[in-house]
Copies of this chain bind each other. A is one copy, B any other.
């Protein structure tokens, strides 16, 4: 008999509320014969304040035993900027080698977008997750003086770039339009740019059916608002991916519906799935948070574990729910979760 052994990290702010609904929908969509086990972990601001810990070696050992991780949100204004980001979120990505940071953007009918003319948007960004300017390389000398120098080193390896580029080609190959765009800034960041461009060009030869394209990151932000329909799959560096996926989320319905997966395709370590939005402490505990992004992240989680049909059922339910929502008064977090649970079960 099949089973899913899930680590659940509600985290901070609205994290608990959205995760509750994500699990509700997950339970509703899974076939009877699949045994779902969950274990909750208390990572986040509260634990940091109580113990000074963000993510210990012992924590990582425990997390390793799970098939996947579902996370609500981590982050609170009471914690200095960078502590939970570097100490928890990035530490987890690096420890579990989450090199494919997957962020789909699809504008569903009836969903509000800041763009005029309701353009067609349906693309996915494959953001590299373990290299680039995110490695924490760099440092500071003469801190706090008028002669301070601070550096940040973007580290890019053929090994790291090739595996994520290959993953993106596979995803492009599997989609109807079969188009892959590399986003970088190879005219200025020429060392990293040449590495990315050369590997992209080399791997492309193995995928003759995939149409390829290159766009500088600055120009990519223009296309994302003037012609987002041109994109099918985008592959990009860790930092550029961070920036353009927030913009992509904004134009395709907002971060309330943006899902993401921090994936280790080899399954050597569990992958982690989370909504793109943060902990939103201003609306926490009020039942106002939209759990849709978490529910869509559950769909990515299911697809990663091989539950294709169940993932599709969630996507279909969310599309129907969003269309139905348009123009109606806002529902509470749990009302949306309930409605989605009913739809996926039906």
Residues of A in contact with B (beta carbons under 8 Å apart): 81-82, 85-86, 90, 113-117, 133-134, 136-140, 142, 144-159, 162, 185-195, 197-198, 217-219, 221-222, 224-226, 239, 242-247, 249-251, 254-255
Contacts and interface: CB of A to CB of B under 8 A. Distances in A.
Nearest to A214: B81
Given A116-B115, A247-B225, A90 B188 contact: yes
A148 B245 CA distance: 27
A202 B325 CA distance: 47
17 contacts: A81-B186, A86-B188, A90-B188, A133-B189, A137-B151, A138-B154, A138-B189, A139-B191, A144-B198, A145-B158, A146-B158, A146-B162, A150-B156, A151-B156, A185-B242, A218-B247, A225-B247
Contact of A82 (B186, B224, B244, B249): B186
Given A86-B190, A116-B116, A218-B242, 20 more contacts: A82-B186, A140-B195, A146-B158, A146-B159, A146-B162, A147-B159, A149-B157, A150-B191, A150-B195, A152-B153, A152-B154, A154-B154, A185-B242, A188-B239, A188-B242, A218-B243, A222-B247, A225-B250, A225-B251, A247-B247
A19 B185 CA distance: 27
User: How many protomers of this protein does the assembly include?
Assistant: 2
A194 B151 CA distance: 11
Contact of A156 (B114, B149, B153, B217): B149
Nearest to A133: B189
Contacts of A145: 158
Contacts of A188: 82, 85-86, 90, 133-134, 239, 242
Contacts of A147: 157-159
Contact of A192 (B138, B217, B245): B138
Nearest to A245: B218
Contacts of A90: 188
Contacts of A250: 221-222, 225-226
A157 B148 contact: yes
Nearest to A85: B187
A298 B139 CA distance: 40
A221 B246 contact: yes
A134 B185 CA distance: 11
Contact of A148 (B158, B186, B222): B158
Contact of A187 (B81, B117, B245, B251): B81
Contacts of A152: 133, 153-154, 156, 189, 191-192
A134 to B, nearest CB: 6
Contacts of A190: 81-82, 86, 136
A156 B151 CA distance: 6
